[in-house]
């Protein structure tokens, strides 16, 4: 219920915002978006890509806040039962292209739109791996790419069913792959470790591109 969600997130947002953090709120509900923005949130992350609540696009447009539009297939309760695609990359691209157009039509500036391919949301392990290998294709949408693969089930499936708290290595591997594919934002649980890995990755890349004297 929206009231419960507001009561849960607003105090946390207020404290983080007072501390100077740029806060993102993850919600599909316009009432929660309004309350969160009023409490100091700077970014809306909607896993339904503004399809769940008919008022959400209006709220985001009026606020001027950036919005992450995430791809999903099916209802959250059943989306992992039997996800199917003819071509996962093409279908995600076209779906996000449609949602970007809908957001713009609702008055949201394109410069405020980010896209998330929805790693693990209505996708099998094979779908997720194909998505990661072809992530750069989404740059054609002209919006920053957000990728959240940290501690996801695919890591467990590829590493002897490792539980979520033992998926650091796999999470870093996906973060580096996302960076390699040009993702602008990577959402992670283990910030310090991931930042260190990205700094090493960037150092290796920059050194490889530096001409020898």
Which positions are catalytic? 152, 187
Structure tokens at 123: 């996708």
Structure tokens at 161: 């069913």
Structure tokens at 118: 């929805």
- Alpha-carbon distance of 43 to 33, in angstroms, equals 9
Residue entry with tokens 């209802």: 75
- Alpha-carbon distance of 155 to 178, in angstroms, equals 15
What residue spans of 19-152 are helical by DSSP H? 30-39, 56-63, 88-105, 125-133
């Amino acid at each position: 219920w929206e009231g419960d969600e507001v009561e849960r997130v607003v105090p946390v947002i207020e404290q983080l915002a007072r501390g100077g953090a740029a806060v993102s709120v993850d919600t599909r509900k316009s009432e929660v978006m309004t309350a969160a923005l009023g409490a100091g949130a700077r970014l809306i992350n909607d896993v339904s890509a503004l399809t769940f609540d008919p008022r959400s696009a209006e709220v985001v447009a009026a606020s001027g806040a950036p919005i992450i539009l995430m791809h999903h297939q099916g209802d959250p309760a059943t989306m992992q039962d039997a996800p199917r695609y003819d071509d996962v990359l093409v279908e995600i691209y076209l779906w996000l292209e449609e949602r970007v157009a809908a957001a713009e039509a609702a008055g949201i500036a394109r410069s405020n739109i980010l896209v998330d391919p929805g790693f693990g949301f209505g996708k099998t392990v094979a779908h997720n791996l194909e998505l990661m290998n072809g992530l750069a294709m989404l740059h054609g949408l002209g919006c920053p790419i957000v990728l959240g693969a940290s501690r996801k089930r695919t890591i467990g499936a590829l590493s002897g069913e490792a539980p979520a708290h033992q998926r650091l290595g796999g999470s870093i591997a996906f973060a580096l792959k996302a960076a390699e594919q040009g993702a602008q934002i990577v959402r992670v649980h283990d910030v310090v470790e991931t930042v260190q890995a990205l700094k090493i990755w960037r150092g290796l890349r920059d050194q490889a591109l530096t001409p020898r004297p």
